[in-house]
Amino acid sequence: MNKKTVKFVTPILATSIVFASLAPATLVHADETSENTTHERIADVIALTDADTLLAGEYISFNTAINQFVIDNAITNVLSPEKIKLIEEHVNLTNNQINETKTDLTTVVTAIDPSGNESTLNNVRVARAAGVNSVSYHWNYARIKIKASSLNFAVQSGFAIGSVYAPARIVQGACAVAGVGLGLNSFKNGIWFDYNYLVGVLCGNAGKQ
């Protein structure tokens, strides 16, 4: 079975992901003396290329009146129905994450549209010392910030922020990319990293706060 790799990409991000639509197994009876034949499940894999994702970004915006990402219907003129369905699934998931997270008054929650415009989704005042804990939603990934005082726990047990959970291995990988050494009793700096929570992939971008 051939598999294609789906890549969600922004100008600063490339994330590989595969969506598969599985058909149910079917039992076929030829006659009373024939052996039963079972058709294997076949994955119908649709791929989004880098170009598809960049193009999709031109038709996706963030509606501040409803605090949701929306897709312009004109996208149907440039992408196939199958690819649009994948984009819709990811946007719907992100919108659900936003709905669950924006009521958290302990965490800074924002949304960033493909043009880079950022909208604050809740009113949280935090001290800036050694970073902040926050999550910024893009339509196809999230940027997570972990302050220094939370980092020691996060590298050992993972980090939950709003409705997004980044396992310890993701936080550890982000620290490596950001150049933050592990095994310390305390950290002087917080970190930030881009995380595709749909499939649990560190997107490769990370840094110090």
Could you read off the pLDDT tens digit of each residue along the chain, which spans 209 residues?
443 333 333 433 433 334 333 333 333 333 444 344 333 333 345 677 889 989 999 999 999 999 999 999 999 999 999 999 999 999 999 999 999 888 777 788 999 999 999 999 987 776 656 688 999 999 999 999 999 999 999 999 999 987 899 999 999 999 999 999 887 677 889 999 999 888 789 988 999 99
190 to 22, 157, 158, 165, 198: CA distances (angstroms): 42, 16, 14, 17, 24
Question: How confident is the model over 79-130, as pLDDT tens digits?
Answer: 999 999 999 999 999 999 999 888 777 788 999 999 999 999 987 776 656 6
What is the spatial distance between Cα 130 and Cα 149, in angstroms, rounded to a whole number? Answer: 8
Return the amino acid letter for 135: V
Residue count of the chain: 209
Q: Sketch the domain layout of the chain as residue ranges.
A: 6-26+40-101, 108-208
* Torsion 144-147-148-152 (CA) sign: negative
